[in-house]
Amino acid sequence: MKALTKTDFNFPGQKSVYHGKVRDVYNINGEKLVMVATDRISAFDVVLPEGIPYKGQMLNQIAAKFLDATTDICPNWKLATPDPMVTVGVLCEGFPVEMIVRGYLCGSAWRTYKSGVREICGVKLPDGMRENQKFPEPIVTPTTKAEMGLHDEDISKEEILKQGLATPEEYAILEKYTLALFKRGTEIAAERGLILVDTKYEFGKHNGTIYLMDEIHTPDSSRYFYSEGYQERFEKGEPQKQLSKEFVREWLMENGFQGKDGQKVPEMTPAIVQGISDRYIELFENITGEKFVKEDTSNIAERIEKNVMNFLTK
């Protein structure tokens, strides 16, 4: 199995390329973006040394499916998916914040809560909550969008407005879209026997209109629990069975890595890489309700280049 961990394409009209943690984004004529979902994997804001076969294909196909399923809620950037690992979309000027929405108290929010903090991103939380407990209503806890190598930081609505990262009118739309998308994602997840626990959305503007950008409801940007057994596990204080990238973070933490200075990423043996790939396939099939069809990986870059060129020149 081969994994695509870097790209270096030169498409017609290409103005620039941005290599993110997981995606490589090509600017075409300042009008369109060709976004390649690579097989890179990141955790704790660090790109891990090994790629995960089929991960890019899975993420791209999940995101495309959910972008198509939410066009009635808000406009989104997607124009086409010319390759299983590529989405071509409208170039938007992104807001420098990520809209994180949480339905349950877990992950970093739980770690913060457990340390005694009762306010996250300006949202006050009641005493006496337990890990994986459902909030009465979903809460929005934005973060800044950090440069490569830096950590995203929690930020409140008040601070976003104060810093001029969005106008009050824009922020109202961002929050409205965030909660509506989360509601739709929750409904779709429930049909699959899943709980959408938390997720993040990114938005930008194109010709003055706010668009949903990037990925949506993928296991890289979202956390899912299995509905079956949730209540029983919660009452017993047991860990939830979940579908997310959290299992990768847990493996890293067990091996002494949390992205802190001086820490070393544990060895990613072929068996570890294979195991992560298999888990991602499980995620894909559970989230979409469809069988995952593996694309030919003998020459991924060549395939992508051919498919994207065909799309751009037709």
Which residue segment(s) compose the domain that 85 sits in?
Answer: 14-92+269-313
pLDDT band at 242 (very low <50, low <70, confident <90, very high): confident
Shared domain for 296 and 187, answered yes or no, is no
Residues 235 and 148 occupy one common structural domain: yes
Query: Residue 1 falls within a domain, yes or no?
Result: no
Domain C-terminal end among 243, 258, 280: 243
Residues 227 and 171 in one domain: yes
pLDDT at 148: 54
CATH number at residue 217: 3.30.470.20
Q: Would the pLDDT of 110 be above 80?
A: yes
Judgement on whether residues 192 and 118 belong to the same structural domain of the protein: yes
Does 125 share its domain with 44?
Answer: no
Q: Are residues 78 and 44 in the same domain?
A: yes
pTM over 0.95? The answer is: no
Cα–Cα separations (whole angstroms), residue 222 to 53, 64, 207, 245, 307 = 20, 15, 29, 8, 29
Residue 120 included in any domain: yes
Residues 120-130 have a mean pLDDT of 95
Q: Supply the CATH number for residue 28's domain.
A: 3.30.200.20
pLDDT band at 219 (very low <50, low <70, confident <90, very high): confident
Give the CA diameter of the chain: 59
- What does the pLDDT look like over 191-212, one tens digit per residue? 999 999 999 999 999 999 999 9
Same domain for 234 and 98, yes or no, is yes
Residues 68 and 125 in one domain: no
**Percent of the chain topping pLDDT 70:** 98
The pLDDT, as a whole number, for residue 156 is: 95
Residue 38 lies in a domain: yes
If pLDDT is split at 50, 70 and 90, which confidence band does 151 have? low
Q: Are strands 133-140 and 119-120 parallel, antiparallel or unpaired?
A: unpaired
264 is a domain residue: no
Residue 199 and residue 182 in contact, taking contact as beta carbons nearer than 8 Å: yes
Look at residue 150 in the predicted model and tell me its pLDDT: 58
Are 186 and 233 in the same domain? yes
Asked whether residue 52 is assigned to any structural domain, the reply reads yes
Distance CA 148, CA 24 (A): 13
255 — pLDDT class (breaks 50, 70, 90): very high
Shared domain check, 218 and 189: yes
Crossing angle between the packed helical segments 246-254 and 270-288, to the nearest 10 degrees: 150
CA distances from 20 to 24, 145, 156 (A): 6, 12, 25
How confident is the model over 116-128, as a mean pLDDT? 95
Is 132 found in the same domain as 49?
no
Residue 45 — very low, low, confident or very high, per pLDDT cuts 50/70/90? confident
Q: How many domains are contained in the chain?
A: 2
* Within-domain flag for 44: yes
Out of 22-36, 117-131, 147-161, 190-204, which region has the weakest mean confidence (pLDDT)?
Answer: 147-161
Q: State the pLDDT at residue 245.
A: 81
What's the sign of the alpha-carbon dihedral 286, 287, 291, 297? Answer: negative
Residues 48 and 117 in one domain: no
Residues 41, 47: contact at Cβ < 8 Å?
yes
Non-local (6+) Cβ contacts of 148 within 8 A are 19, 20, 21
